[in-house]
Structure 1
Amino acid sequence: MAEYIYFFNKDTLIVKPPKKSPMFLRMIALLFAMVCGVLICSIRLKQISTSSKITYRNIRVIQIPDIDYGIKQIEIPLGNGTEQSEIPPVNYPKPQTFSRAECAHNPVQFFAIISMQRSGSGWFETLLNSHSNVSSNGEIFSVFDRRKNISSIINTLDKVYNLDWFTSASKNECSAAVGLKWMLNQGLMEYHEEIVEYFKRRGVSAIFLFRRNLLRRLVSVLANSYDRHAKLLNGTHKAHVHSHTEVAETLSSYKPVINSTSLISDLKEVEVTANKALKYFNSTRHIILYYEDLVMNRKKLNDVLDFLRLPRMELRSRQVKIHTGSLSEHIKNWDDINRALNGTVYESFLRDYKR
Structure 2
Amino acid sequence: MIPVFQTQKSLTCTTRCQILMIECACTGVRFFAILSMQRSGSGWVETLLNSHPNISSNGEIFSVKERRSNITAITKTLDRLYNLDWYSSAAKNECTAAVGLKWMLNQGLMKHHQEIVEYFNRRGVSAIFLLRRNLLRRYVSILANAHDSAMKQLNGTHKAHVHSKHEAEILAQYKPTIDKKTLITELKRSDKLAADALVNFKNTRHVVLYYEDVVSNRTMLMDVLDFLRLPKRKLFSRHVKIHTKRLCDHIDNWADVTDFLKGTPFESFLNGSRR
The 1-side partners of 2:253 and 2:204 are apart by: 42
* Native 8 Å contact 2:63 2:107 kept in 1: yes
Instruction: Please give the per-residue CA displacement for 1:154-206, whole angstroms capped at 9, x wherever unaligned.
Output: 111011112369xxxx8544461000000011111111111111000000000
Residue in 2 that maps onto 1:276: 196
The residue that corresponds to 1:230 in the other structure is 151
**Structure 1, unaligned runs of 5 or more:** 1-99
AA paired with 1:253?
Answer: Q
Alignment of 1:215-294 (within 5 A): 215-240=136-161, 242-294=162-214
Cα deviation for residue 262 of structure 1 reads 2.5
Q: 1:322 and 1:101 mapped to 2: Cα distance?
A: 44
2:98 to 177, 188, 202: 177
Structure 2 CA distance for aligned equivalents of residues 164 and 187 of structure 1: 26
Task: Work out whether residues 134 and 178 of structure 1, in 8 Å CA contact, stay in contact via their aligned partners in 2.
Answer: yes
State the TM-score, normalized to the length of structure 1: 0.67
- Equivalent position SS for 1:196: helix
What is the rounded CA distance, in whole Å, between the counterparts of 2:226 and 2:260 in structure 1? 41
Note if 1:308 corresponds to 2:216. no
Secondary structure at the residue paired with 1:153? helix
2:63 corresponds to: 142
Paired letter, 1:120: G
Relative to the length of structure 2, the TM-score reads 0.86
Return the letter of the residue paired with 1:334: W
* Number of positions where the alignment pairs a residue of Structure 1 with one of Structure 2: 249
CA apart distance, 1:318: 0.7
Coordinate RMSD, CA, aligned:
1.7
Matching residue of 2:4: none
Partners of 2:54 and 2:92 within 8 A in 1: no
Letter in 2 for 1:209: L
- Runs of 4 or more consecutive aligned structure 1 residues displaced over 6 Å after TM superposition: none
Matched, 1:196 2:114: no
- Report if the CA contact (8 A) 1:114-1:182 is conserved: yes
Question: Shift in Å at residue 343 of structure 1?
Answer: 2.4
Counterpart mapping for 1:30-109 below 5 A: 103-109=24-30
Aligned to 2:127: 206
SS at match of 1:273: helix
Shift of 1:229: 1.2
| Residue 126 of structure 2 corresponds to residue 126 of structure 1 | no
Any idea what SS the aligned residue of 1:135 has? strand
Question: Is the Cα–Cα contact under 8 Å of residues 134 and 171 in structure 1 kept in the other structure?
Answer: no
Q: What residue is the counterpart of 1:69 in the other structure?
A: none
Which ranges in structure 2 are unaligned for 5 or more consecutive residues? 1-19
Report how far residue 319 of structure 1 moved. Answer: 0.3
| Corresponding position of 1:330 | 250
SS of equivalent residue, structure 2 residue 99: strand
Matched letter for residue 330 of structure 1: H
Q: How far does residue 123 in structure 1 lie from its aligned partner after superposition?
A: 0.3
- Sequence identity percentage: 63
Contact 2:55/2:91 (CA < 8 Å) preserved in 1? Answer: no
Shift of 1:316: 0.7
Q: Once the 2 structures are TM-superposed, how far is the Cα of residue 130 of structure 1 from its aligned partner? A: 0.7
Cα pair 2:144 2:174 within 8 Å, conserved: yes
Aligned amino acid, residue 266 of structure 2 = Y
The question of whether the paired residues in 2 share the 8 Å contact of 1:133 and 1:171 is answered with no
Residue 78 of structure 2 is matched in structure 1 by 157
Kindly state the Cα deviation for residue 235 of structure 1 after the two structures are TM-superposed. 1.5
CA distance in 2, matches of 1:213, 1:291: 9
Structure showing the higher helix proportion among its residues: 2
For residues 248-281 of structure 1, the C-alpha deviation after alignment (integer angstroms, 9 at most, x for no partner) is 1111111111111221222111111111111111
CA contact (8 A) 1:125 1:181 kept: yes
> Using the alignment, how far apart are the partners of 2:172 and 2:211 within structure 1?
19
What amino acid does structure 1 have at the position aligned with 2:199?
K
Give the partner amino acid of 1:350: L
Q: Quick check: 1:101–1:173 contact (8 Å CA) kept in 2?
A: no
Matching residue within 90, 93, 113 for 2:34: 113
